[in-house]
Chain A
Amino acid sequence: MEQMKVLLRNQGKPDMEDAKAYIATGGYDGLKRALEMDGAEIIEELKKSGLRGRGGAGFPTWLKLKFAFDTESAEKYIVCNADEGEPGTNKDRVLMSCDPHSLLEGMVIAGRAIGAHVGYIYLRAEYPQVRPILQRAIDSAYTCHALGKHIFGSDFEFDISIRSGAGAYVCGEETALFESIEGKRGEPRYKPPFPGVHGLFGKPTALNNVETLANISHIFRNGAIWFAGIGTKGSTGTKLFTVAGNVAHRGVYEFPMGINLKALIYENCGGIADGKGLLAVQTGGSSGPFIRPDQIDIPLDIDFVAASGGRLGCGTVFVIDDSNCILDIVRNTQDFFAYESCGQCTPCREGTIRVAQIVDKICRGDGSMVDVRALQELIDMLRVAPLCGLGHSSAVPIASVLQNFMPEVEKHLDGDACVWCNTQKGGRS
């Protein structure tokens, strides 16, 4: 299966931190084109391209920029979400490492679109090796007039600086990320007001994922029509997929949107490692559902996956082989949410802990139908009551196990000893 390398087109090429090397590959041509357009025209081009967010929710990028464009303010911000905290996801690290200027270029174009002159890259602290790459790229962009005052001789100016996270998954949530940059605890804010009106430092802000912003540079280099011709009708362009877990060849791969999940696992990644069978697949990161082997023959398209109850999210495909127990895996996942809940609102703080405790109880063979019913109530509550997305999707994994793997759950309820669950301790306990 042939990859289609657009975002990764410069992978393996030397010196891609150097703006000159990037320019030699046609880099910054998109920005030069955007500099001849006004904000409304840039947003119109993005609308034509059909680009949707690659960070999780798949929100139309042009619309997000339009909200910030429509709000009057002398100060506006572009923020790049490089927090990549979703377990099983490595794509932003790979992208920033092999083509950092494509991200910078996308940020400047987005800044031009909404009338912002400052951009921040919020980089997770777990990527110390990426920071010098980004910093050298930024320095080099200033030297080549792709950043700073009078970009490529125009009257547009834009600055980019890096801000660091410090190990908190919730800081990937947009408003928590703003709080963190402002020097506060990364606790999500109530919405509305939305970031396009009241974002970083209270100013109109457009926050996008690394991959989304990098895509903008390619759209302006090759044109919106070209981009819209890749992928499916509702999900245009290519997508970076991180395939993790028990496949033979793990890694980050680039394919047009809409490729088949089963083909991705079996043809591209060499199937299940060590000759074992497939137990389950989780798409969209830790807050995505677990699906059975008979449910994986689907196109990876944002709307299709959503309609079938899943999540394409950031493009993570987590593959689990049949030497594992699905309850042990979901216990690990629910422990993750209980640990990463920021604790600001009660439904999530208490709810995630209760879910983790009950799942652990069932794992150990001490559960009953009463516990399953309690889980159902918690699942319904968590879907609506918490403040932010972390809480809202925290029970999706266990809900999907109750739906797709009930025979396994029943085995544990019957007290039939599960060797795997009993020899494993839960994640953090």
Chain B
Amino acid sequence: MNQVNYSITTPQAQLVRVAEIAAAWHGRPDKLMDVILEVQHIVPALAEDVAAVIAREMGISQNDVYSFVTFYSLLPVRPSGRHTIRACSNAPCHVRGSKAVMQGIEDFLKIRPGETTEDGMFTYTLCSCLGICDSSPAIMIDDKPYGNLNYESVQMLLKRYIREDVDAWNR
């Protein structure tokens, strides 16, 4: 598991909301995952100051919170883009051409795994099996699974995201 040292400053107003969520589960460390899953939609990243607030409100140590967050690959400690693309790198996708899909993403967005596009729209990472091997090669964008992709079709898919995102901004 990767360990990333990263510290950013989270806006005060967001920390207040984090505190409200965490305070409801004081003395219930088993609720840490639920708290974090809710909090990650509020803050740009699960940074150290967020961990400190959660720890204080739930009555556990900051070390416990931070070591928890850094253990799980889906909990981001770095700010991510508006959409997160996760491309499966395991063998059942590999034999169906996942390398071409990854190449399609990298060529189109001009980023490597672990990076975010300059406009902050996409973060791209590799991941383990997404459980949709019956339509491999597969990726997920945020909560949505996509399968049976190739070099061209993954780029069409990303174009659609960009198109729809632009529309949303104009509205």
Interface set of A (CB-CB < 8 Å, partner B) = 84-90, 93, 124-129, 163-169, 180-187, 201, 242, 244-246, 250-252, 282, 286, 318, 320-321, 324, 329, 332-333, 335-336, 339-340, 342-343, 424-425, 427-428
| A332 touching B133, Cβ below 8 Å | no
Q: Are A183 and B95 in contact (CB under 8 A)?
A: no
Given contacts A164-B34, A183-B33, 14 further A-B contacts (CB under 8 A): A88-B92, A88-B133, A166-B75, A167-B128, A168-B71, A183-B64, A184-B64, A184-B68, A185-B67, A187-B71, A246-B96, A320-B91, A320-B95, A329-B91
Least CB distance from B137 to A in Å reads: 11
Decide if A242 touches B145 in the complex (CB within 8 Å).
Answer: no
Contact of A182 among B1, B29, B89 (CB under 8 A): B29
B6 CB to nearest A CB, Å: 18
Question: A-side binding surface: helix, strand, loop or mixed?
Answer: loop
CA A90 to CA B147, docked complex, whole Å? 13
Could you say which residues of chain B place their CB within 8 Å of the CB of A250? 133-136
For chain B, give the interface size range.
35 or more
Q: Which residues of B contact A168 (CB under 8 A)?
A: 1, 71-73
In the complex where A87-B128, A169-B128, A342-B1 touch, is A183 in contact with B68 (Cβ < 8 A)?
Answer: yes
- B3 — nearest CB in chain A belongs to which residue? A343
Task: Contact check, B131 vs A89: say whether CB atoms are below 8 A apart.
Answer: yes
Within 8 A of A (CB), among B79-121: 89-92, 94-96, 99
Indicate if B30 sits at the interface (CB-CB under 8 A). yes
Interchain CA distance A343-B158 in the complex, whole Å: 35
Chain B residue with Cβ nearest A319? B95
Cα–Cα, bound, A70→B74 (Å):
38
Closest to A285 in B: B129
Assess whether B131 is in contact with A93, with CB atoms less than 8 Å apart.
Answer: yes
Q: Please, could you name 8 A-B residue pairs with CB atoms under 8 Å apart, sorted by A?
A: A86-B129, A87-B92, A88-B91, A93-B131, A125-B74, A126-B129, A318-B92, A340-B128
**Contacts A183-B32, A183-B68: A332 and B130 contacting too (C-beta < 8 A)?**
no
Q: How far is the CA of A246 from the CA of B93 in the complex (A)?
A: 10
CA distance A173 to B29 in the complex (A): 21
Contact between B131 and A428, CB atoms less than 8 A apart: no
Chain A CB within 8 A of B52 CB: no
Binary CB contact string for chain B from 1 to 45 against chain A (1 if under 8 A, 0 otherwise): 100000000000000000000000000011111101100000000
Chain B residues near A424 (CB, 8 Å)? Answer: 99
Contacts of A252 in B (CB 8 A): 134
